[in-house]
Amino acid sequence: MRLKPITLLSFFLFCVQVSHQQTPIIETSLGKISGNVFTSRKGRDIYAYRGIHYAKPPTELRRFAAPEPVEAWNETLNASNDGPSCPQSFTMETIDEDCLNLNVYTVNVTASNPVIVYIHGGANIHGSAHSEYGGGPQYLLDEDVVLVSISFRLGAFGFLSTKTYEASGNYGYLDQVLALKWVQQHIKNFGGDVSRVTIIGESAGSMAVTLHLTSPMSKGLFHRAIAMSGSATNHYDIDNVYWSRKLAYDLGCPRYNTQYLLNCLRQISWQRIVNITDSWEPYGMANINWNYEIDGKFLLEHPSEAIFNNRFNRVPIIAGVTLNEFDFEPERLEGSNDLLDDMNDNFGLYATDFLQFKITGNDDEKMRRIREFYYNNKTINKYNLAGLGKMKSDGLIGHGVYRLVKLAKKYTNVYYYRFDYIGDKSLYSNGAEKAKGVCHADDLIYILPKKTFQVENNSTDIFMIDRMVNLFASFAAKGEPPIIDNITWTPSTANETVVLYNDRKVRMGEQFEVERYALWDELFPIEKSGAGISIPAILLFSFALLWPFLCQSKLL
């Protein structure tokens, strides 16, 4: 999504929160680190250490490969500036392929405060740890917590796969695992408690959080999880191999010999790769074209199956959605009459694309059911685009989160919410008009400030910052939400209790959107196989073990 212009006043208010005051020098096993001081919303000093590399540059032969831990340094590392963001388009940040860095924010380097690790969203093609554009510490650090935000590889760089040993994918998720290991090894030196690490993500970052819930590689690296508007328990069926071979074809590289494909793509600039993949985005609505692989290492089975069978990292979970999510996104199609006409004639082709599943033998029936449910078989036109919005909100976000809660609550405490509060800022308002609803990522505005979505100090929305920050900080500290306005937020039960924010009020309520989510449950049931690991994953893992011996014997 393109960033909107901001006023000079907003820019000034954000920038004055960084001070040139000295921070404590942090001593780690890798070397010494210096930073600078930010100021929290309430005037608290925040010690900021930014742009700390946790991995070697993922360039040349390390492009499309698992990350390697960074080596120690001799001089004191100057961590007073944000590191570069990973290759992507539409950003104001500095871009470099040497982007595997993280930021640490703390208020007391000698304390043992709970740690919150933020995994950004952005459809796996956008986003970063940047303190101004990726989410700053000025709200959360009014509480006694340590905040860590991480950058990881995106797009083809993070997820290219041919389902072979040489290119098994998941590189962006492996980056996150390495960053979580870095936290376990070093966060104590910043005043963090390694036994109280909470991972929090929004959108694609929330999907990543739920993948770590089911990954054996992430076991023991975190102790609570917050999933905001996204879950890998959705029905997504994304073909990384197709997109990887399409990328090779578009760039004139071999498609079917993996080693030749990799050798060729490693010679091409990141700018060309980003430009090519960016041209694939249909309808001006960003879709997730790159996602996880069940590779036998990071993932052994589909996340839904893992949680259904109690094969996951059982930690307390907060999971939720916003009231409207993507309801208003299709409005950008209002002037596309030819596109809407074609969509009416070929609904299945369009819907399988923006609802993220492959075309298979029974998809005609699925498409008929979906169109009948959301449109009652009426013609799609510029006056009823809300149906497409509801379809996308449910299919891409709501149902996946609902399924996560439904499955995980049998084995751990899950706190389910819907964020209904309509504030002055919204992803889908232009700043000049009141937001029409509560859209995707609107709840994040009150937790991690961005230069483009600052809540002014005189805004009536300030109370929501205090409420959300206290909620998540308390959860990070104790593993359960605090009492809010004399309301105890109980874990989800058979009655699917939830917390709703509406006009400043908090209440426990019944499950929402029961009928809508039931449709998706029926169309996309969980495959409940007894085995924990798929046959392709077993073969891939076995081949990985045999590879060095095969090479030595010159059989390959």
Token duo for residue 342: 């074609």
Task: Write the burial class of residue 294 (CB in 10 Å: 0-12 exposed, 13-18 middle, 19+ buried).
Answer: buried
Q: What crossing angle do the helices spanning 270-278 and 240-250 adopt, rounded to 10°?
A: 120
* Cα 187 to Cα 189: distance, rounded to the nearest angstrom: 5
- Among 85, 149, 168, 203, which one carries the catalytic annotation? 203
For 234-291, the DSSP string reads S-----HHHHHHHHHHHTT--SS-HHHHHHHHTTS-HHHHHHHHHTT--TT-------
DSSP string of 537-552? HHHHHHHHHHHHHHHH
CB 198 within 8 A of CB 222: yes
Catalytic choice (293, 305, 325, 329):
325
Question: Which position has the token pair 């993922």?
Answer: 58
Sign of CA dihedral 250, 255, 260, 262: positive
Looking at the chain, how many residues does it have?
556
Tokens linked to 472: 């998540």
Query: By CB neighbour count within 10 A (0-12 exposed, 13-18 middle, 19+ buried), where does 496 fall?
Result: middle
Write out the DSSP string of 475-522: HHHHSSPPPBTTB--PPP-TT--EEEEETTEEEEE--SSHHHHHHHHH
Query: Which structure tokens are listed for 440?
Result: 């995707």
Whether the CA torsion 331, 333, 336, 337 is positive or negative: it is negative
Rounded Cα gap, residues 86 and 90, in angstroms: 12
Which is it for strands 113-119 and 192-202: parallel, antiparallel or unpaired? parallel
Query: DSSP states of 167-227 as a string?
Result: ----HHHHHHHHHHHHHHHHGGGGTEEEEEEEEEEETHHHHHHHHHHH-GGGTTS-SEEEE
413: CB partners within 8 A, 6+ apart: 316, 317, 479, 480, 491
Tokens of 219: 């076991």
Contact 177, 218 (CB under 8 A): yes
Question: Would residue 334 show up in a list of annotated catalytic residues for this protein?
Answer: no
> Could you give the CA distance from residue 508 to residue 501 in angstroms, rounded to a whole number?
10
Tokens of 259: 């080693």
Check residue 394 and report its DSSP letter.
I
C-alpha–C-alpha distance, residues 151 and 206, integer Å: 15
325 is catalytic: yes
Query: Of residues 426, 429, 440, 534, which has the active-site annotation?
Result: 440
- In whole angstroms, what is the distance from residue 538 CA to residue 554 CA? 23
Measured CA to CA, the distance from residue 180 to residue 100 in angstroms comes to 12
- Is 440 labeled as catalytic in the residue annotation? yes
The residues annotated as belonging to the active site are: 203, 325, 440
